[in-house]
Amino acid sequence: MSSEQEAMSFETEGLYVSESERQGWWSIARIWIGNGFNVSTLITGAALGAGLTLFDSFLAAFIGFGIIVAYMSFVAMESADVGLPTAPLSTAALGKKGGRYIVGFIMGVSLVGWFGVQAAVCGASFSVAFADLTGFEIPVWISAVVLGALMLASAIYGFDGVKWVNTVSAVLLFVICVYGLGISIAGTGADSIFNYVPVEGMGLAAGISVSVGLFAVGGASVGDFTRYAKDRKAAVVSSVVGVWPVNILVLMMGAVLAIAVPESGGDITIVLSSMGLALISVVAIVASTWAVNVGNAYSAGLAFTAMAGKGEESYKLTTMIAGIVGLVAAAVGIMDYFTTFLTFLSAMVPALAGTMIADYFFIRKGRPENFKPLEGISAPGVVSFAVGAVFAMVTGGTFVGTPLEMLDFPLFIGPVNGIVVSMILYVIIYKAMKLPAFDGSIVLFTKKSAE
């Protein structure tokens, strides 16, 4: 079966995008830009601001998203070549079963984790605002569970207004943050913000890993969008322009707000409430997290459904299970391990991208006619991914502050280590197993290899 036939075999599943449906870079970039301003990015920026100087926060954001854009550009080129999203693309490197299990696991776990984080932030915001207004304190875990349960119900039974809520909340949150930045700089002075030194720093390498973890899954799943790109150039430009600038901007907004209120410890809820914005902030945060978490729960359910090999009609059960796990995580204090969660993602996902990049560009020479999903589980892909991910965890600070801290051996930048190790190991194992070789030089700058 040719690569075109392989790609077309996915058409019945609604996955393959034909040439006639392709679009320019701007139509894809504006999707990334539109999704760039959200609570998750502000929380992460606040975590950077609480643990780094302002300049190091910028470096962590700039380098972290530079790493993301680098690996996502290669995945984007492959998806533009083949016309398929990330999950089917991974089947060439991991095998059909390997891709289903590994991609489903990573997507499912990350989305469940984000559901718990968003519910925890939403609950904390509501509890703080309620205490300010009434003097009565509701335990954060109760607010998180109740509001999270309502979000989960919306994901299972549907809520037609979720897109409208998301749009309004993003604008409201942006206005609040701009106002907060203004009064912060006016109140504390620009010098104190620029000269801020954290009491307990996280280190630049850890900050980079945190930045990567924020968008790690988005970077790897770029193929879901760039399969619509008309060529490689459109795929890469849409990724660079749509992701890098806006996320750095929002991260730095969160960092400045956290630096202006150092006693907050990076808690964005405390930051905003300390500025007299408790009521309006809780409205914006609850609305924003509600809209995002509906998608998190729904997508997590679909990921686990695909992983289990069930039909989409089973998503309600898997969504409910995923949401309940997320609520438990929120109740027991997932925010206490927020940076650990992000460094976990920054280890797992880039290593996955590394195996895909090595397979398509170093083995298949970057030529779409060589793309072929493999049956079962591919040993080179699964082994190189697993080793790369573990190496990234050990060297990237994933275990710091946990009972497994003795496994931490800092070395360079964890996510980069994971990508490099997985790529090298994939090629070594593939050739050692004497698997099919492909002739020709690597095609890197043109969309088609034979034009």
The per-residue pLDDT for 312 is: 58
* Token pair recorded at residue 141: 């875990």
What percentage of the chain has pLDDT greater than the value 90? 64
Range scoring the smallest mean pLDDT among 115-124, 145-154, 186-195:
186-195
Range scoring the smallest mean pLDDT among 135-149, 299-313, 323-337:
299-313
Q: Is the predicted pLDDT of residue 34 greater than 90, yes or no?
A: no
Name the burial class of residue 187, with classes exposed (0-12), middle (13-18) and buried (19+) by CB atoms within 10 angstroms of its CB: exposed
The per-residue pLDDT for 316 is: 86
The per-residue pLDDT for 376 is: 93
> Hey, which residues does 229 pair with through a beta bridge?
23
Alpha carbons 46 and 236: distance in angstroms, whole number = 29
The torsion angle over the Cα atoms of residues 160, 327, 130 and 177, rounded to 10 degrees, is -70
The per-residue pLDDT for 1 is: 47
- Higher-pLDDT residue of 118 and 5 is 118
Average pLDDT for residues 425-439, to the nearest whole number? 96
The per-residue pLDDT for 163 is: 65
Residue 93 pLDDT class (50, 70, 90 cuts)? very high
Residue 447 pLDDT class (50, 70, 90 cuts)? very low
The per-residue pLDDT for 448 is: 45
Q: Is the predicted pLDDT of residue 238 greater than 70, yes or no?
A: yes
Average pLDDT for residues 27-50, to the nearest whole number? 91
- Higher-pLDDT residue of 96 and 313 is 96
- Higher-pLDDT residue of 415 and 289 is 415
Average pLDDT for residues 218-227, to the nearest whole number? 91
Average pLDDT for residues 294-302, to the nearest whole number? 87
Average pLDDT for residues 410-415, to the nearest whole number? 94
Range scoring the smallest mean pLDDT among 40-54, 125-139, 247-261:
125-139
Residue 187 pLDDT class (50, 70, 90 cuts)? confident
pLDDT digits 0-9 by tens, 253-288: 999 999 998 888 888 888 887 777 778 888 888 888
Judge whether 366 and 443 are in contact, CB under 8 Å: yes
Range ranked top by mean pLDDT from 25-34, 198-207, 238-247? 238-247
What one-letter code names the amino acid at 227?
A: R
The per-residue pLDDT for 416 is: 96
Judge whether 259 and 49 are in contact, CB under 8 Å: yes
Spatial CA neighbour of 408 closest among 418, 397, 420, 423: 397
With a CB cutoff of 8 Å and minimum separation 6, the contacts of 427 are 358, 362, 363
DSSP state of 136: P
The per-residue pLDDT for 167 is: 75
How do the domains of the chain map onto residue ranges? 23-432
What percentage of the chain has pLDDT greater than the value 70? 94
DSSP state of 354: H
Q: Is the predicted pLDDT of residue 5 greater than 80, yes or no?
A: no
The per-residue pLDDT for 201 is: 87
The per-residue pLDDT for 141 is: 96
Spatial CA neighbour of 290 closest among 112, 128, 166: 166
The per-residue pLDDT for 280 is: 84
Average pLDDT for residues 131-135, to the nearest whole number? 86
Tell me what the pLDDT averaged over the chain comes to.
Answer: 89
Average pLDDT for residues 416-427, to the nearest whole number? 97
> Between helices 232-260 and 25-35, what is the axis angle to 10°?
20
Q: Is the predicted pLDDT of residue 3 greater than 70, yes or no?
A: no
Residue 4 pLDDT class (50, 70, 90 cuts)? low
Residue 159 pLDDT class (50, 70, 90 cuts)? low
Q: Is the predicted pLDDT of residue 7 greater than 60, yes or no?
A: no
Q: Is the predicted pLDDT of residue 6 greater than 60, yes or no?
A: no
Does the domain at 23-432 match CATH 1.10.340.30? Answer given as no
